[in-house]
Chain A
Amino acid sequence: EEQVLVIREKLAELYESEREWSKAAQMLSGIDLDSGIRMLDDTYKLSKCVQIARLYLEDDDAASAEAFINKASFLVSNSQHEVLNLQYKVCYARILDLKRKFLEAALRYYDISQIEKRQYGDEEIDEEALEQALTAAVTCTILAAAGPQRSRVLATLYKDERCSKLKIYPILQKVYLERILRKPEIDAFAEELKPHQKALLPDNFTVLGRAMIEHNLLSASKLYTNISFEELGTLLGIPPQKAEKIASRMIYEDRMRGSIDQVEAVIHFEDDTEELQQWDQQIFGLCQALNDILDCMSCKGI
């Protein structure tokens, strides 16, 4: 087994040097890590699992990578090896990203972007890598399903000073402020995306397209008390029936509050707060504005 292991590792190295990532991964996955004959330490097992996952990820094979990351997850909690732990985190985030679990991926990327330590053994983490992780976090959040959970993550990212220096900041700002995104902005954002983030879905929308439609629908719900299917379709750039379908799914999934009147062909949007509470909030806003004026007056000695 020892000799087979050495041969497999050497062959994997050769495949890697020829950029045959999946073949290298397959070669390494043939190593019996649970052999009863030889005792392999957990760090070695973890390093092999992570290495195999990383190789599969080079070919965007999330399913195969996930199998090995899942194995690694049993070993990582007891691991003191900082480099491996970090590599595991990055792999996990990328797998979630590839599987389009964007919100979870965003949280993991964000976690990685916040590491304080820069030196891990011989490896140095540069600022650019952290910036890439932060950008990935923002991208995944924007692509995630619009709703309250995404809003919370958006708030965290928007309030993080580091995000204001990213190229992607303008679109983050618009998404956080729940503003409607127009085609030029969406096209500019699309240029920075990876292929799986622009892939076609069974309903004939792309991943990006659906995310943008849902975001714009939610933005419209903040601007309108009600809107006809037709106008909504025009606003979103899709046929009215599709607009209705997406709206109904979002309402059903509790990601947007409202009701649909199919007879009048109108969507009624509801606020999260009741009318009387909104009234209360308006009065509160008025009192705050009044206080601001009084403060302004006293500053000016009036």
Chain B
Amino acid sequence: MDIEQKQAELIDHFVKKARNLDGAAGAPFLAALVTEATSHPSLFAFSEILSVPSLAELERTSYSSSLEVLRLFAYGTWSEYKSNAGRLPILVPAQVLKLKQLSVLTLAETNKILPYDQLMRELDVSNVRELEDFLINECMYAGIVRGKLDQLRRCFEVQFAAGRDLKHEQLDNMIKTMSNWLSTSDSLLNSIQDKIKWADMMSEEHKKHRKDIEEKVDEMKKSL
């Protein structure tokens, strides 16, 4: 929520700017806007900007690679950039940093425990110190991720990761996960309900049993 609040204004700003730049004359400025947005240190979401119609028009211009870059930052990772580096423009250092930060978020989507080896491969980092400095300064202190570094097990345990832009095909999985949560919560609540009923019942039986014994004791006393 914090990340979303912080970047909401930025998203608005870039979306408004993009809306005012259309047509062929606007293409170079849109390309510059894409570079600015993807370099901004506090912006990690790009689907709103991507959905501005003027951006889609870049496809048919000589600036179509900027649109590719924006898509990459919305959904892709640093590894994907490296595989397609020939088709894409060279990224400035701020963009490289941003894409690596986004790659960490993507990795955190599938696993809570991220091995150092995997992270070093994905982020092109050659040693543990460099990796940990990156995770501490650029991810944890940037507020996009929270977690603990484990040097013995050589892994990063993620406690929280900011959400990235979602592709349409990811929605089904999300719905499925939340349905599972719902059904698990329902069965847990039912289970608790049953346990409460059982506890009440046992308590009643215990009281009744105690009463029976006390009555028998009284009877015995009277007869004696």
Contacts and interface: CB of A to CB of B under 8 A. Distances in A.
Contacts of A285: 160
A266 B150 CA distance: 11
Nearest to B150: A225
Interface in A169-214: 179-180
Nearest to B147: A223
A178 B140 CA distance: 12
A231 interface: yes
B159 A231 contact: no
Interface string A278-297: 00001001000100110010
A137 B104 CA distance: 40
Contacts of B160: 285
Interface residues of B, number: 15
B149 A289 contact: no
B122 interface: no
A231 B160 CA distance: 25
Contacts of B171: none
B129 interface: yes
Interface string B147-159: 0111110000101
Contacts of B149: 223-225, 227
A231 B150 contact: no
Nearest to A286: B160
Nearest to A261: B152
Contacts of B140: 223
Given A225-B157, A226-B152, A266-B151, A289 B136 contact: no
17 contacts: A180-B136, A223-B136, A223-B148, A224-B150, A224-B151, A225-B150, A225-B151, A225-B157, A226-B151, A226-B152, A227-B151, A231-B129, A235-B129, A282-B159, A285-B160, A292-B1, A293-B1
Interface string A223-240: 111111001001100000
Contacts of A231: 128-129, 132, 151
A225 B129 contact: no
Nearest to B136: A223
B198 interface: no
Contact of B148 (A225, A266, A282, A289): A225
A179 B152 CA distance: 22
Interface of B: 1, 128-129, 132, 136, 140-141, 148-152, 157, 159-160
Contact of A289 (B1, B132, B152): B1
B152 A266 contact: yes
B163 to A, nearest CB: 11
Given A179-B141, A224-B148, A225-B149, A234 B129 contact: yes
Contacts of B136: 180, 223
A214 to B, nearest CB: 18
A276 to B, nearest CB: 15
A266 B128 CA distance: 15
Given A225-B151, A227-B151, A231-B129, 17 more contacts: A179-B141, A180-B136, A223-B140, A223-B149, A224-B148, A224-B151, A225-B152, A225-B157, A226-B151, A228-B151, A231-B128, A231-B132, A234-B129, A266-B151, A266-B152, A285-B160, A293-B1
Nearest to B4: A296
A226 B150 contact: yes
A228 B132 CA distance: 13
Nearest to B141: A179
Contacts of B157: 225
Nearest to A264: B152
A169 B13 CA distance: 29
A179 B140 CA distance: 10
A227 B148 CA distance: 11
A96 B125 CA distance: 48
Interface in A243-302: 264, 266, 282, 285, 289, 292-293, 296
A65 B151 CA distance: 50
A202 to B, nearest CB: 31
